[in-house]
């Protein structure tokens, strides 16, 4: 016996397609949500990784800043030590000069002159003292000019103040302390200049005679 389906099959088929559509739509939504969650987790991982890198770089920068501060402090200490080293070297170099200075002052001072004050500023010296007469001061200046350690002797003043009957004249002198080689070099330069002038005169002599003869 043949069976006849009297149900509305078109409506049943439409409902089945509708159920399939919603099923597919739900699956797509689930997949989309899963993808969004995975993407969010991946982005969070990247952000976390970048934050860790930033924190590492910040720590390294702080260490470098501390090292820069230490380097600056070391440079200050180095500059201070170099300055002290130069001062010590200068003092060691000037130590022998001071010995020669006092030695020359003892050698050159006459019995009629007495020093009351000595002031040194670098190579410049200023002497103050008393003397029996202007001639005694002149003798003292001549003795200083003969010294290889003294140069540029200048008389500031000499005045008779009658403070001391034995040495009534008060005077002050200015001079420059030099090394003997400085004067030697100066003498050599003077000799060379004199030799050059002599040679020029010798060269000019025959020409002058020739002009007289012509």
- Identify whether 131 is part of a domain: yes
161: domain range?
A: 58-193
The structural domain count of the chain equals 1
pLDDT in the model for residue 125: 82
- Identify whether 106 is part of a domain: yes
DSSP letter (8 states) at residue 148: T
**CATH code of the domain covering residue 83:** 3.30.1360.100
pLDDT tens, position by position, 81-108: 999 888 887 777 666 677 777 777 778 8
**Of the candidates 125, 138, 122, 123, which has an alpha carbon nearest to the alpha carbon of residue 171?**
138
SS (H, E, C) 4-19: CCCCCHHHHHHHHHHH
Rounded Cα distance, 137 and 169, in Å = 9
- Identify whether 150 is part of a domain: yes
- Identify whether 158 is part of a domain: yes
Contacts from 50-59 at CB under 8 Å and sequence distance 24+? none
Higher pLDDT, 2 or 87: 87
- Identify whether 45 is part of a domain: no
pLDDT tens, position by position, 141-173: 888 888 877 778 888 777 777 766 777 888 888
């Amino acid at each position: 016996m043949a069976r006849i389906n009297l149900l509305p099959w078109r409506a049943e088929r439409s409902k089945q397609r509708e159920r399939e559509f919603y099923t597919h739509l739900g699956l797509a939504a689930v997949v989309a949500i899963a993808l969004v969650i995975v993407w969010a987790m991946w982005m969070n991982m990247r952000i976390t990784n970048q934050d860790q890198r930033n924190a590492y770089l910040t720590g390294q920068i702080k260490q470098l800043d501390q090292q820069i501060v230490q380097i600056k402090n070391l440079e200050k200490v180095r500059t201070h030590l170099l300055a002290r080293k130069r001062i010590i070297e200068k003092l060691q170099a000037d130590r022998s000069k001071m010995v020669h200075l006092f030695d020359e002052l003892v050698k050159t001072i006459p019995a009629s002159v007495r020093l009351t004050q000595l002031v040194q500023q670098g190579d410049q010296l200023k002497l103050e003292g008393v003397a029996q007469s202007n001639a005694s001061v002149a003798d003292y200046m001549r003795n200083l000019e003969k010294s290889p350690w003294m140069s540029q002797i200048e008389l500031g003043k000499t005045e008779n103040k009658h403070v001391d009957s034995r040495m009534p004249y008060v005077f002050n002198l200015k001079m420059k302390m030099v090394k003997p080689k400085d004067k030697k070099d100066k003498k050599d330069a003077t000799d060379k200049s004199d030799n050059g002038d002599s040679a020029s005169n010798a060269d000019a002599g025959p020409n002058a005679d020739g002009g007289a003869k012509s």
